[in-house]
Structure 1
Amino acid sequence: MAKKEKVVENVNYLFNKYTGKEKLEGQIDHLQSHIVELEIDNKTLRTKFEKSAANEKKAVAAKQDAEEALNAAGFRISTLEHEIEKNKENSFDHLSFSHVDMLSIRRMQDYVSTLSSLRSPEETLLTLYVCNGSSVSGIFGNDPVEKYIDPDTLHLLEKIDSQNGFVLFHDRDSLVNEVIIPPLPVETSKWLQGTAFNTEQLLGLLSKELSICILLAHAGESFVAYSLDSRHLDSYELIRSNVKSKHGKGGFSQRRFERLRDEEIVHHADKVRESLGELINNLEFDFDYLVIGGDQNLANLIIKDIDVDIPLLFSPVDIRVEKHASEDVLRQVFLSRRYKL
């Protein structure tokens, strides 16, 4: 029996040796082990992928939440900025000049002399000359104007309407903060800061002796005059015409009345234009300015056809000469305005 088993064992050995079965079985075992390893790796990678996909979903959701929060914050910021600007406008609307005064040339000269005497231990006194049409920020160039003038003062400067420009005297500590509108146009825009105010250009305007022609236009009563030294009138004429007062009723009668009144105003303008033209053309010298006051629309109607090359100077004076002495006209024409900020 043992001999028989031995023979079977030898036969199996020879069979395995010549058929390669043993080698194939070894390869199969190796491949099966590799398959197991791959399955383990696959399971690991799948787990990582599932975690990555979950994290990606969370990241997308977090990104959306962050974008919504950012948009909400941006909207809130815009709303707050609008409210801030609105509050600024409302606060600026409450700003006004604490004092407005009209000063004659003599009083203005005394005032400027007082300003000239002020001194500061540091360079805190700012003088700003602004021509008509110039912007305050433009005068400072690349320097930010807020470095020298506070926002409230800047806002008040924007309220000033002057064809002559203006002069600002401003102390950094607000001990002095005033604007002067001179009777003559500011010639050069500039700013200076030091231990004293620079009043040279303003004093020059106040001390000028000018030859001027004056037109004070009012419907039915206009005043034409001239002065060779801007201190005394050398000649004047009061021109009167019959111009009806304004109609108080409505309807057809009012329209007819207003048409007739307009015709009378045109007739009055023709009379004044003739007198003014004769005055200008008959004199053998050129006027420095044609000063215009009163009703600006009527004045423009009067001068539109006068062919003269004289600088125009519009004055806020609006007096009727019959109620004032003729010499008082010059004093009114050369008044300066003072605004205390």
Structure 2
Amino acid sequence: MLDELLGRASLRDRIDELEDENERLRKRYEAESDRRAEATTARQDAEERINRLEDRIAQLEGELERVDETESGPSVRHRDQLRGARLEAVFDRLTSFRTGPEGALTVGVDDDGITEPVRTELEPVLGERLALVDDDGPCLCCVDDAGLLAVTLEPPVVPDLDATWRDRFALEREWFLPTGRHAVALVRTDLFALGVYEGDERVDYRGFESDVKGTHSKGGFSQARFERIRDGQIDDHLERCAEALAAYEPGGEATDTPLYLVGQRGIVDALAAEAGLEPTATAAVDATGDPGPALEDAVHSFWTTELRVL
């Protein structure tokens, strides 16, 4: 009764209403935060799968060509992934091929396909199979003028090779196989490994991991702050990687040593720009685990050539 006379009852009712509203807003905020955290985690997980999916897409495209036999038009007769002793044997067989003067053509094909002058030379030999060469870039195409041998090769190093007619195919061993002194560097957002090799034997090594946040989880701090921290950690990691590669920068002690830079495609490109590098070749590879084993997997994957028999 006294509360009503003094007007306190209405105030207590208002306080109760505001407390209820505050509780509803708090629950709504927590639910929204959970949704944002889950969305961020899902996006980051998807980014980590991009490199694996790129390789899988290429594999499925090749399988589709073989499975869909009812499809009209030419198809690749044989496709193989070559590495190690098998790659060396096939390379030796191709380089031992001999024909008459200017009877063997070797030409590099980039992502844009073959040029019109090369198309004019190849079409009489390959006919409708010429479309297969256009679809396979970047690659090397080897064909003899009688059409007895026609293949494309996608080695680790695809040179910018103009149409070359000789009595043998113009293929260099270092495009396909580890030869002489060279370096292979693997870089991920949180890992770096550098191996120096003499042929296929590793003679020097350096590897490390950096503390880079993985995925955003509930609570702690906002998504925006998480992204800023992660980006800063990745920048610090790339700086460490650039320092480790300093010996292979232009003007360094090992200027003539070929450098092959592999790993996550976006990180590989960012490191090349960060360190001012012009690597001999780059490649996206899926190498997981600790630095040492990951580098071994990366080297195994990098020194692989896809052979297609037209």
TM range (shorter): 0.5 to 0.7
Residues 1:150 and 2:124 are matched in the alignment = no
Per-residue CA shift, 1:98-157, capped at 9, x if unaligned? 55432124322211344467789x99x85432164786344538x454222223x32222
Matched-pair identity in % = 19
8 A Cα contact 1:132 1:186, kept in partner: no
TM-score, structure 1 length as denominator? 0.55
Match of 1:129 among 100, 103, 107: 107
Relative distance call for 1:268 and 1:336 in structure 2 (3 A) is same
1:245 corresponds to = 214
User: Which residue of the partner structure matches residue 182 of structure 1?
Assistant: 155
Larger radius of gyration: 1
- Contact 1:96/1:156 (8 A) holds in 2: yes
Contact 2:265 2:283 in 1 (8 A): no
1:217 lines up with 2:195 in the alignment: no
Kept in 2, the 8 Å contact 1:221–1:241? The answer is yes
Q: Using the TM superposition, give the Cα deviation of residue 330 of structure 1 relative to its aligned residue in structure 2, in angstroms.
A: 3.7
Distance 2:267 2:172 in 1: 31
Contact 2:79 2:309 in 1 (8 A): yes
Deviation, structure 1 residue 180:
0.9
1:243 aligned counterpart, secondary structure: coil
Of structures 1 and 2, the one scoring higher in RCO (CA 8 A, sep 6+) is 2
The answer for unaligned runs of 5 or more in structure 2 is: 1-69
Shift of 1:176: 4.8
Q: Which residue of 1 aligns with 2:283?
A: 315
> Which runs of structure 2 are paired with 1:153-302 in the superposition (5 Å)?
153-162=129-138, 165-169=139-143, 176-186=149-159, 188-192=161-165, 198-203=168-173, 205-206=175-176, 209-227=179-197, 229-247=198-216, 253-277=222-246, 284-302=253-271
Give the superposition deviation at 1:205: 4.1
Q: Residues 134 and 299 from structure 1, CA distance in 2 versus in 1: closer, same or farther, beyond 3 angstroms?
A: closer
Q: State the alpha-carbon separation in 1 of the partners of residues 174 and 186 from structure 2.
A: 26
CA distance in 1, matches of 2:75, 2:293: 32
Aligned residues: 238
Residues 230 and 292 (structure 1 numbering): CA distance in 2 closer, same or farther, change over 3 Å? same
